[in-house]
């Protein structure tokens, strides 16, 4: 199966490296970053492109753009891993539509388009007879979508709750363990590379809320939007609050939860018993699904990272290959 | 809760049929169950009832347990659960049971008298009017915004009460943090109390941190 890769940052590089390293039967025929692009229907020499990107900051020909690749290159599936724009979803939504219009499958880690235009994009993919898959948008490496789609097929999902932001989990872990203030723990998270220069998205619960919206629309198709999420971040927490929780054998975690019967769609810091399955240290993510048949299922794993996120993308690509492409 | 192994049982008949001597570790887990039991959902007529847990010691002879528990129904009470433990001491002529029961308000003294007449020794007794408990944390300018008023808003409901407060106040201008334990008679009452607290927190610009309950 031929694939084209748009975006060559942390995630894109992870995907490219794994395509080069593993014999997955996936051939890279197009690649683009923000400034340049490159295509070769016979298959791109990934090592060379990555070396070029490292040295020059661009991956290919400055006269070519991502759009050229999407519209002209010879590929079966588009891998869209450009930055998330939570307000407009662009340019990724445009990229995805262009690929779907050409009857190309789309795999993405980009939360913006899936939170904003999931319904439209899914309908478009259905109409064109291709797949739109976005495992990597929620909880990184954890196969949430595959679990919902296959492992829990036939189950009614009654509710879900989880830890969907590793940065917040890290900050809360450090505040509890060392009695750090929020500001100190944030500073440390930045030094460790777990927090962005502008941490607003993470610490105010926006990132977790976007993932919650993606999950809710995927499971219940209920058209909820980011603005529907009742959202409280962790930036106003005090070390005293964590200590008061600790005295009771509890701690505080940022929990995203959805329960359509209770009209609940919420991201907020919550008190949890330290033995609760959603209490763990560091940057991990986890999600508990409550279903009618299987009852509770909790998945836990890495919520971000270059190779970890590539894992989710490759899982989607191989699913498409087995399901659509090899058969054809 | 299940009557498996006769450890936690409903009713006296069943009890007499199945006598078991749980190991100490078992007994701990039983105590745990009793704790859960006291938080079981209850109906509205509960307002007139009092829930009580008692630890009783009596002579271990046939029929003694049934006789000992008879006064409970005599005063119009119901046995919710009985935890039954043979005395671990070697002579083994006494029987220890822990019971949870509900009875109409005002009948407790009556019951205690009747139990004594039966030769039952009451080792411990605990009243539990408020059955549901939740602990929340409030952060913000708790004093400036009238902390006693915040607590009052719960206490004045009549169906929920703030039973414990732990407070930490750094510098006067800094935000303080408090841990508040609320008890209520039923799950619905607890929800109503939390709804009040949410509203008050919003009005006073306080950050309210609630426990995560299993939602479905
Ligand atoms: N990092 C993670 O662990 C993780 C996990 C889950 C999901 N995600 C999501 O995955 C996506 C990629 O994340 P990342 O960490 O790899 O981001 P990143 O390191 O910032 O990389 C973004 C890449 O997209 C390219 N790009 C930017 N604008 C573009 C445009 N208009 N057209 C074509 N390419 C463009 C950039 O080009 P230049 O190289 O020229 O700047 C860069 O190569 C984001 O949506 C993110 O939210 C990330």
B146-195, pLDDT tens digit by residue?
Answer: 999 999 999 888 778 888 899 887 877 889 999 999 987 678 888 999 99
pLDDT at B11: 32
Eight-state DSSP code of residue A61: B
| A282 CA distance to ligand 1 middle (Å) | 23
Residues shown for chain A: 328
Joined together, the tokens standing for residue A180 give: 């750090």
| A28 CA distance to ligand 1 middle (Å) | 18
Give tens-digit pLDDT for B62-87. 788 788 788 888 898 887 666 665 54
| A54 assigned to active site | no
- B11/chain A closest Cα distance in angstroms: 31
pLDDT at B155: 86
Give the residue, A39 or B121, on which the prediction is more confident: A39
So what CATH class is A2-140+307-325? alpha beta
Domains of chain B: 7-38+130-209 (3.30.70.2690), 44-125 (3.30.70.260)
Search chain B and give the residue with CA nearest A251: B211
- A182/chain B closest Cα distance in angstroms: 13
Give the closest of B179, B209, B214 to A269, CB-based.
Answer: B209
Q: Which residues contact A296 (CB under 8 A, 6 or more apart)?
A: A288, A289, A290, B214
Distance linking the first and last C-alpha atoms of chain A = 11
C-beta separation of B80 from B100 below 8 A: yes
Q: Say if residue A75 is exposed, middle or buried (CB neighbours under 10 Å; 0-12, 13-18, 19+).
A: buried
For all residues of chain B together, what is the average pLDDT? 72
Q: Which segments of chain A have a pLDDT < 50?
A: none
**ipTM of the modeled complex:** 0.89
**Helices A10-21 & A46-56 angle (0-180, nearest 10):** 150
Residue where the block lists tokens 């007499």: B16
Cβ contact (<8 Å) for B209 and A236? Answer: no
Q: Binning pLDDT at 50, 70 and 90, where does residue B38 land?
A: very low
pLDDT at A327: 56
Q: What is the CATH number of domain A148-303?
A: 3.30.360.10
Q: Which residues contact B127 (CB under 8 A, 6 or more apart)?
A: B50, B51, B52, B108
pLDDT at B124: 78
C-beta separation of A246 from B168 below 8 A: no
Cβ contact (<8 Å) for B137 and A247? Answer: no
User: Do the domains at A2-140+307-325 and A148-303 have one common CATH topology?
Assistant: no
pTM of the model: 0.80
Residue where the block lists tokens 């359509």: A260
Q: Is A271 helix (H, G, I), strand (E, B) or coil?
A: strand
Give the residue, B118 or A199, on which the prediction is more confident: A199
Half-sphere exposure of A173 (CA within 13 A, CB side): 18
Which sequence spans correspond to the domains of chain A? 2-140+307-325, 148-303
Residues A71, A127, A211, A225: which is the catalytic one?
A: A211
Search chain B and give the residue with CA nearest A289: B216
- B136/chain A closest Cα distance in angstroms: 7
């Amino acid at each position: 199966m031929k694939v084209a890769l748009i975006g060559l940052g942390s995630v894109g590089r992870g995907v490219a490296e794994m395509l080069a390293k593993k014999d997955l039967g996936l051939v890279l025929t197009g690649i683009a970053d923000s400034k340049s692009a490159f295509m070769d229907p016979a298959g791109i020499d990934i090592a060379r492109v990555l070396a070029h990107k490292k040295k020059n900051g661009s991956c290919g020909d400055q006269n070519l753009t991502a759009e050229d690749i999407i519209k002209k290159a010879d590929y079966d599936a588009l891998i869209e891993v450009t930055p998330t724009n939570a307000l407009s979803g662009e340019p990724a939504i445009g990229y995805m539509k262009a690929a779907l219009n050409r009857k190309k499958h789309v795999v993405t880690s980009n939360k913006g388009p899936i939170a904003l235009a999931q319904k439209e994009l899914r309908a478009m993919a259905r109409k064109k007879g291709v797949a739109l898959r976005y495992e990597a948008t929620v909880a990184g490496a954890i196969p949430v979508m595959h679990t919902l789609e296959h492992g829990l097929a036939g189950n009614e999902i009654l509710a879900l709750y989880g830890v969907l932001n590793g940065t917040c989990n890290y900050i809360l872990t450090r505040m509890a363990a060392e009695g750090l203030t929020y500001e100190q723990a944030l500073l440390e998270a930045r030094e460790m590379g777990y927090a962005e220069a502008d941490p607003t998205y993470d610490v105010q619960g926006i990132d977790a809320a976007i993932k919650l919206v993606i999950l809710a629309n995927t499971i219940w198709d209920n058209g909820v939007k980011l603005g529907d999420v009742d959202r409280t971040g962790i930036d106003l927490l005090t070390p005293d609050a964590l200590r008061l929780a600790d005295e009771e054998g509890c701690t505080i975690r940022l929990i995203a939860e959805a329960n359509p019967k209770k009209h609940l769609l919420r991201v907020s810091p919550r008190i949890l018993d330290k033995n609760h399955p959603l209490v763990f240290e560091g940057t991990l993510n986890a999600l508990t699904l409550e279903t009618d048949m299987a009852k509770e299922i909790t998945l836990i794993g890495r919520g971000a990272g270059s190779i970890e996120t590539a894992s989710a993308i490759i899982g989607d690509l191989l699913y498409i290959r087995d399901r659509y492409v090899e058969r054809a | 809760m299940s009557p498996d192994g006769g450890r936690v049982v409903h009713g006296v008949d069943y009890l007499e049929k199945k006598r078991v001597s749980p190991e100490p570790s078992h007994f701990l887990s039983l105590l745990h169950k009793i704790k859960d039991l006291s938080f079981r959902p209850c109906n509205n007529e509960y307002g007139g009832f009092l829930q009580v847990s008692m630890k009783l010691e009596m002579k271990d002879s046939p029929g003694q347990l049934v006789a000992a528990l008879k006064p409970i129904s005599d005063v119009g009470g119901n046995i919710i659960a009985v935890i039954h433990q043979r005395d671990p001491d070697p002579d083994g002529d006494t029987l220890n049971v822990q019971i949870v029961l509900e009875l109409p308000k005002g009948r407790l003294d009556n019951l205690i008298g009747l139990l004594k007449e039966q030769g039952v020794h009451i080792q411990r007794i605990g009243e539990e009017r408020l059955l549901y408990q939740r602990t929340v944390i409030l952060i913000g300018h708790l004093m400036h915004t009238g902390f006693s008023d915040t607590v009052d808003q719960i206490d004045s409901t009549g169906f929920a009460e703030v039973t414990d407060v732990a407070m930490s106040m750094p510098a006067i201008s800094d935000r303080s943090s408090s841990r508040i334990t609320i008890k209520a008679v039923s799950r619905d009452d607890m929800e109503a109390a939390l709804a009040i607290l949410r509203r008050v927190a919003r009005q006073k610009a306080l950050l309210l941190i609630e426990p995560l309950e299993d939602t479905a």
